[in-house]
Amino acid sequence: MKRRIFLRGVAGAALAAPFLSSLDRGKARAADGGSPKRLVIFYTQNGCIVNRWFPKNENGVVDAAALAGTTLEPLTKWASKLLVPRGLAMFPKGTINGYFDPHDQGMGSKLTAAPIDPANSHWSTGKSLDHVLAGMINPGTKTPLVLSVGNVFSNVKGILSYKDALTPFPPETKVKNVYSTLTGLFAGGGTTSAADYKVTQGNSIIDLVKGDLDSFKRLNMSNSDKKKIDDWLSLLRQTEQNVVVSASCNMANATALGITDASIKSAAGTGVATAFTLGGDMMINLMALTMMCDANRVLLLQWPGFVTFNWDGIAHSYDHHGLSHRVGSAAVSGPCVDGVIGMITEIDNWYAGRYAKLVGLIDSIKEGDRTMLDNSAVMWLPELGDGNAHNNTNLPIVIAGSAGGYLKQGVSVNLETKAIGTGDSLGTCQAPGDQAGFNRQASGGNVPLNKLYVTLMNAMGAKDAAGQPITSFGLMDTSDVAKGITNPGELTALKA
């Protein structure tokens, strides 16, 4: 067969397929053939006022009444899509291998479920959830999208993500860099040609050129050549199944999200206030756009904890970390800052508003007969429970979205076999002159956080090397290094 005839026929039509404007090449379809599932982590430092954070129902329906007057009240509109797992604790915790620093462990161990190195830089000795999961479910890049606003510490107190043991993965802090990675994926102009539209509706590229193919195969050629064509078409069909349509990944939708060259420039302005407000909002918008482009299915946004809030009506004289200690500094005892509980509550409420913005934005994007939120799990994960107690038990965690129907919705679930309570952030500093103390009180709830991670990995469709559901994560689920994983499996009580 002559090469020029081959190129003029099916090869020309098929080779043109990857250049259709509505195709996002190289991205795999979700395992179930539907919309992708995504894990989004919203991470905050220094704990919170736990008495005010949790819904009023420890085990039961989460609705407007359960959220009224709590930190989570801004999420009332999405109450029916919230899951609040109660009684979770991070392991390892306390003195491990002769070393203890609650902030180092809260960052280094939180997503790795592994001890931190007691020497050197105190990096985690395990790989973090975001990297493990991205390697399993991401269609292209096998690294997660890890973001932070403003400048972060380059030491263990500022790094949450680990590419491997003792291998920190610093977050991207520049909105311009995130935007630049997406613009190359945009379909042109936000319009769709007739052929492109048929592809977006599920038509095969091969079917669209069926007439040309039939004519081509009627040419005078040997049976061997005909078999080669059939084998080639079979390969093309298989390849085509690994091409995902991303009709929503275009400049028009980026603009609709408020992402323009001008807004990127404004959000990239200097100063902590700009980074947390314009920059933070832009990072949230860019996360949504990343999901629309299916450029990453594991996304992490961390908020630095050593900042002084002076924006959006908040005017503090002490940084968040110092306020969490109640004394306005890193000291672990001394007189409480006057009004400190109210100041921490202001910070908690501000973060709740940012999380609500993220949830609301993702929920506003349609994917088939669902929203993007319905196909995702968007988790607010804290460094600590109470910032003064520095406890990693009874963690305040909320998850929005069911990951395609895998997770329960509209409920708070007590994972313990007994009542937990909220903890006691209001035990001190209620009046001028009160003294604060470094109190590692034992709040109720000690279910290993590892089990939540296993549940989320399975919700995302992850499989182990044998193609089976995930049964364990991390290096340990107690504070005994030698025991390893003692309680594998999912949290079935969270499954729909």
What pLDDT digit, counting tens, does each position of 432-457 carry? 889 997 655 556 788 999 999 999 99
End-to-end CA distance of the chain: 58
pLDDT band at 16 (very low <50, low <70, confident <90, very high): very low
Q: Quote the pLDDT of residue 123.
A: 98
User: pLDDT confidence of 8, banded at 50, 70, 90?
Assistant: very low
Query: Residue 11 pLDDT > 50, yes or no?
Result: no
pLDDT reported for residue 193: 41
Which of 223, 246, 269 corresponds to the end of one domain?
246
3-state per-residue secondary structure call for the chain: CCHHHHHHHHHHHHHHHHHCCCEECCCCCCCCCCCCCEEEEEEECCCCCHHHHCCCCCCEECCHHHHCCCCCHHHHHHHHHEEEEECEECCCCCCECCECCHHHHHHHCCCCCCCECCCCCCCECCCCHHHHHHHHHCCCCCCCEEEECCCCCCCCCCCCCEEECCEECCCECCHHHHHHHHHCCCECCCCCCHHHHHHHCCCCHHHHCHHHHHHHHCCCCCHHHHHHHHHHHHHHHHHHCCCEECCCCEHHHHHHCCCCHHHHHHHCCCCHHHHHHHHHHHHHHHHHHHHHCCCCCEEEEECCCCCCCCCCCCCCCCCHHHHHCCCCCCCCEEECCCCHHHHHHHHHHHHHHHHHHHHHHHHCCEECCEECCCCEEEEEEECCCCCCCCCCCCCCCEEECCCCCCECCCEEEECCCCCCCCCCCCCCCCCCCCEEECCCCCCCCCEEHHHHHHHHHHHCCCCCCCCCCCCCCCCCCCCCHHHCCCCCCCCHHHEC
Any residues with CB less than 8 A from the CB of 165 and at least 6 apart, and which? 114, 124, 125, 126, 127
Confidence band (pLDDT; 50, 70, 90) for 314? very high
Give 59's strand partners. none
Counted domains in the chain: 2
> Tell me, what's the pLDDT at 263?
97
Same domain? 123 vs 235:
no
Task: Clarify whether residues 386 and 400 are in a common domain.
Answer: yes
pLDDT tens for 53-94 read 999 999 999 999 999 999 999 999 999 999 999 999 999 999
Residue in 51, 131, 43, 20 with CA at minimum distance from that of residue 389: 51
Average pLDDT of every residue of the chain: 86
* CATH number of the domain that residue 354 is part of: 3.40.720
Q: Which residue, 423, 349, 351, is CA-closest to 386? A: 423
Q: Which two tokens stand for residue 33?
A: 């053939």
Nearest to 347 by CA among 322, 378, 314: 314
Q: pLDDT higher for 342 or 25?
A: 342
**Residues 225 and 101 grouped into a single domain:** no
Note the pLDDT tens digit of each residue in 351-383. Answer: 999 999 999 999 999 998 899 999 999 999 999
Same domain? For 332 and 436 the reply is yes
Same domain, 378 and 462: yes
Claim to verify: residue 323 and residue 344 sit in the same structural domain:
yes
Task: Please give the pLDDT value at position 34.
Answer: 76
Q: What is the pLDDT of residue 237?
A: 57
d(C-alpha 448, C-alpha 451), whole Å: 6
100-129 pLDDT tens trace: 999 999 999 999 999 999 999 999 999 999
Judge contact between 71 and 385, C-beta under 8 A. no
- 82 and 200 within one domain: no
| Predicted confidence band of residue 427 (pLDDT cuts 50, 70, 90) | confident
**In terms of domains, do 232 and 131 share one?**
no
In this structure, of 58-67, 206-215, 245-254, the range with the lowest mean pLDDT score is: 206-215
Do 373 and 388 reside in the same domain of the chain?
A: yes
Nearest to 264 by CA among 255, 273, 41, 350: 255
My answer on whether 13 and 61 are in the same domain is no
Asked if residue 23 and residue 41 are part of one domain, the reply reads: no
Verify that 214 and 290 share a domain, yes or no: no
Question: Which residues form the domain of 11?
Answer: 1-30+193-246
